[in-house]
Amino acid sequence: MISNNIIPGTSEKFPVIGQGMTGLGTEKYHDRKLIDQRINALRHGVNLGFNFIDTASLYGGGFSEVIVGEALQGIRNKCFLSSKFYPYDSFSANDVRKSVINSLKSLKTDYLDLYQIHWPNPFMNQDEILGALDDLVMKGMIRYIGASNYCSYEINRTNNLLNNKLISNQYEFNLLNRSVLNDIKDIDSNILLIAYSPLNQGRLASNQRQLQCIEEIACKKGISVAGVVILWILQHNNIVPIVPIVKMSSMLHMDELYDALKKRLSIDEIQLINEHSSKEIEYIPVDKIILSGDKWRAPYNNKSEAMNNIHDLIPSPLSMAERIKLGASEMPIRVIPNDAGGYDIDKYDPFDQIKKYWSWVLAKPGEDIPAYIIDKK
């Protein structure tokens, strides 16, 4: 089996795969049968050694933390437990402290192993927020500080202000979105990459041709297709210490990934997968993109709605636009070609795409938008 990571700058062992606890619903709208299945899978995964558990106060309005707290009863000391908070514009040191106290209460624990800033906010008081996190470490309420969705210049600045106490950055990394590999070259220190959405939101590959290639490799090795993708992710450990976090939907899924870790991808197999990759980023006119919301909310249809952030999206399009102006790495929109010659946004999480769309329009008016173009099914 692939050996565990050591978190850079510490003696802390980190599991080869983590468990991400998204998609549990909210307190009002959830499926208890699904939750029980996820709890059983989580506990089973901890027994297999997948003991990094990742959640956030934003997931389900805090409901995810409550369920994780329920799931970890009796096994908390076996886990490396992580949560996240979002620093709003007006956040003070006391607000950060209240956020961690609320998470600890929901999670039924008296400390967090890792506490992450969920998104960078260029409008927050950075010195005060980071000072509050440092104080929480000294008080034993959190053990380590991490970031999420930060690009290299944001990591370097933050780590400098924290005197190199930042241990991790959580960022999307999969066969479609590989841009983080370029960005990490500009990071001044060696920090852990926590790869979220490693299975590309269930699509696994970047296109159908690549998926067929992976299926053939999986068949030859006698492992799951998801297992092949995770092995591809993990082979980047020679570039950066990395742990993918996967939404473990069942004990069977857990066992399949556990079995896959007993295998290795050959150099030829890795090269074959890479050769079948889609173009990483393309640039398309913004007026070719059709926006759509979900069954509860309409999309933002103009700059005014986006700037006023009428749905209270986190982060706001305005804060994301400010990051772009300051030099943040591009976060491409995900689109699917339509029959009219334009593009529909990916409906997996439409408002994630809407935030990215309007942040680009606000920051770069008139310029083509960076995009991942997804195959039609």
Distance CA 203, CA 230 (A): 13
Q: Same domain, yes or no, for 237 and 335?
A: no
Q: What is the CATH number of the domain that holds 352?
A: 3.90.1530
Q: Same domain, yes or no, for 328 and 212?
A: no
Q: Same domain, yes or no, for 313 and 189?
A: no
- Residue 19's beta-bridge partner residues? 53, 246
Q: Same domain, yes or no, for 177 and 68?
A: yes
Q: How much is the pLDDT for 377?
A: 64
Query: From the CB of residue 28, how many other CB atoms can be counted at a distance below 10 Å?
Result: 8
Q: Same domain, yes or no, for 257 and 304?
A: no
Q: Same domain, yes or no, for 9 and 100?
A: yes
Angle of CA points 123, 129, 171, to nearest 5°: 75
Q: Same domain, yes or no, for 245 and 294?
A: no
Q: Same domain, yes or no, for 223 and 340?
A: no
Last-in-domain residue among 231, 254, 275: 275
Taking the model in full, what pTM does it have?
0.96
Last-in-domain residue among 275, 300, 328: 275
Of residues 86, 85, 139, the one with CA closest to residue 115? 85
Q: Same domain, yes or no, for 271 and 122?
A: yes
Q: What is the crossing angle of helices 225-234 and 251-260, to 10°?
A: 50
- Domain total of the chain: 2
Q: How much is the pLDDT for 1?
A: 42
Q: What is the CATH number of the domain that holds 20?
A: 3.20.20.100
Last-in-domain residue among 275, 290, 309: 275
Q: Same domain, yes or no, for 270 and 290?
A: no
Full residue range of the structural domain in which residue 321 is found: 282-373
Q: How much is the pLDDT for 159?
A: 96
Q: Same domain, yes or no, for 244 and 350?
A: no
Q: How much is the pLDDT for 362?
A: 98
> Which region, left, alpha or beta, applies to residue 60 given φ > 0 means left and ψ of -120 to 50 means alpha?
left
How does pLDDT run along the chain (377 residues), one tens digit per residue? 455 778 888 888 889 999 999 999 999 999 999 999 999 999 999 999 999 999 999 999 999 999 999 999 999 999 999 999 999 999 999 999 999 999 999 999 999 999 999 999 999 999 999 999 999 999 999 999 999 999 999 999 999 999 999 999 999 999 999 999 999 999 988 899 999 999 999 999 999 999 999 999 999 999 999 999 999 999 998 889 999 999 988 999 999 999 999 999 999 999 999 999 998 899 999 999 999 999 889 999 999 999 999 999 999 999 999 999 999 988 999 999 999 999 999 999 999 999 999 999 999 999 999 999 998 76
* 256 contact partners, CB below 8 Å, separation of at least 6: 223, 224, 226, 227
Q: Same domain, yes or no, for 174 and 208?
A: yes
